Amino acid sequence: MRYARDYSFVFNANKTICTNVGKPKFTVCDVLIDNHLIQWSDHFTYLGAHFVSGSDLSVNVAPVRRKFYVACNSINARSHGVAEPVRVQLVKSCCLPLITYCVHVLVLAYETQTFGFTADVSLLE
């Protein structure tokens, strides 16, 4: 904590979690930051991607994919009679950011293939 104080880092204990990946080889003890207990969890969200820990760290992209499809279907359902370039621009500006927000996490998981990545590669193209 001295390093954090010296360089003005502030840790929010309410938004911080600990997770254990792999086979547990030891008993997990409590972790404290400034006398605040950090909770242990088997899942967490980072950049919109949902991670699940266990014997390996896996990425669940179903919620991101669902948000993308909901946004696309909403635009398609409400844009009858609108010119195609306008529809394309709406998809680019409203739907694409939903999927590209966590794309760096997904590409990392896909390239390393150590995270049990099961998303469609077509989402990355």
pLDDT digits (tens, 9 = 90+) for 50-82: 888 888 878 877 888 888 899 999 999 998 888
Other CB atoms within a 10 A radius of the CB of residue 51 amount to: 19
Q: How far apart are CA 22 and CA 3, in angstroms?
A: 29
**pLDDT attached to residue 73:** 93
pLDDT band at 125 (very low <50, low <70, confident <90, very high): very low
**pLDDT attached to residue 124:** 41
Strands (E), the chain: 17-18, 31-33, 36-40, 43-46, 49-53, 57-60
Report the Cα 12 to chain-centroid distance in Å: 19
pLDDT digits (tens, 9 = 90+) for 5-63: 788 888 888 888 888 888 776 667 888 887 888 888 888 888 777 888 888 878 877 88
